[in-house]
Amino acid sequence: MHRALLDQALSLIMANFPQLLILGGICSLSRALRGRPAVERSLALLGFFLGAALLAGSIHMLSAGPRDMATILIGGVLGLGLFLRPIRGLRWAALLALVVGLASSYVLVKYLAITSAIAIAFGFLVPALLTYLALKFLEDLIQVIGGILSFPPLAFGLGALGMAQGLLLLLGRSLAPLLPKL
């Protein structure tokens, strides 16, 4: 059931990929122009879902064999920028590390019957710190990439490229002949 639902969602994304590129381009362009905070939050939320769809479509096209590399690159980079924009400021590494530390302490007490406070403290600290270190690197990487892709001139250029590629795809053309061969 889940596989059929995912296949159906992917088919819908692929059938409307040019329109998603155009909408993603509009979202990226309007975000670069800075407006009211309520509008920016709405665009960030819309961009998050558009970015996820563009990333899924780009990954699918890349794995499906020889395709238009311009569409894959523009859709992937635009999607990544839109997807990372609202989540790049979240501090989720500490929260997940806390959950892992608490879960490991719970396992020590409940299933291994350890009652020593020092053992429970180490059972919390070691997994929590290891998880935090690993996830903090990912958190920082997401923040850097999101910051670069949301830089207004770059977001404006990506938005314009996304809109142009989407319109050209609707007309049966592509920006691929204008890009260097990969």
Compute the distance between CA of residue 135 and CA of residue 155 in angstroms, rounded to an integer: 27
Compute the distance between CA of residue 59 and CA of residue 51 in angstroms, rounded to an integer: 12
Question: To the nearest whole percent, how much of the chain has pLDDT over 70?
Answer: 95
pTM of the full predicted structure?
A: 0.76
In contact, 51 and 82? CB cutoff 8 Å: yes
Label residue 135 exposed, middle or buried (CB < 10 Å: 0-12, 13-18, 19+): middle
Q: Domains of the chain: which residue ranges?
A: 2-88+150-178, 92-138
Q: pLDDT tens across 134-148, in order?
A: 999 988 888 888 888
pLDDT of residue 31: 66
> Is residue 181 scored above 90 in pLDDT?
no
Confidence of residue 23 (pLDDT cuts 50, 70, 90): very high
3-state secondary structure 82-136: HHHCCCCCCCHHHHHHHHHHHHHHHHHHHCCCCCCHHHHHHHHHHHHHHHHHHHH
Confidence of residue 11 (pLDDT cuts 50, 70, 90): confident
DSSP-derived secondary structure letter, 174: -
Confidence of residue 99 (pLDDT cuts 50, 70, 90): very high
pLDDT of residue 110: 85
CA-CA-CA-CA dihedral for 64, 70, 73, 79, to nearest 10: -90
Compute the distance between CA of residue 71 and CA of residue 84 in angstroms, rounded to an integer: 19
Q: Which of 127, 155, 148, 132 is nearest to 33 (CA)?
A: 155
> Is residue 55 scored above 70 in pLDDT?
yes
Average pLDDT in the chain: 86
Q: pLDDT tens across 118-127, in order?
A: 988 999 999 9
Confidence of residue 66 (pLDDT cuts 50, 70, 90): low
> Is residue 12 scored above 60 in pLDDT?
yes
